[in-house]
Amino acid sequence: MAADEKAQAKGEQAKGKVKKVVGDAVGNESLKGKGHAEESEGDLRAAKEKAKDAVKPK
């Protein structure tokens, strides 16, 4: 499950980055904003997974 969550976080980060770049390139502020939000969601999901890994007993 954790690997699936990590992969989903990376996917959200990548999709968000693409939307942000495309939105900036074509001058679409809405798309740029959606990309920024999606990238942030991926960052938060990745941080959550890192925190879970840090707390997990070894």
CA 42/CA 45 separation, integer angstroms: 5
Is 1 in a helix, a strand, or coil? Answer: coil
The Cα-based distances of 42 to 24, 26, 27, 58 in angstroms read 20, 23, 23, 26
Q: Encode pLDDT of 1-57 as tens digits.
A: 578 888 999 999 999 999 999 999 999 999 999 999 999 999 999 999 999 888 877
pLDDT score of 3: 83
Which pLDDT score is estimated for 53?
87
Task: Tell me the whole-structure pTM to 2 decimals.
Answer: 0.81
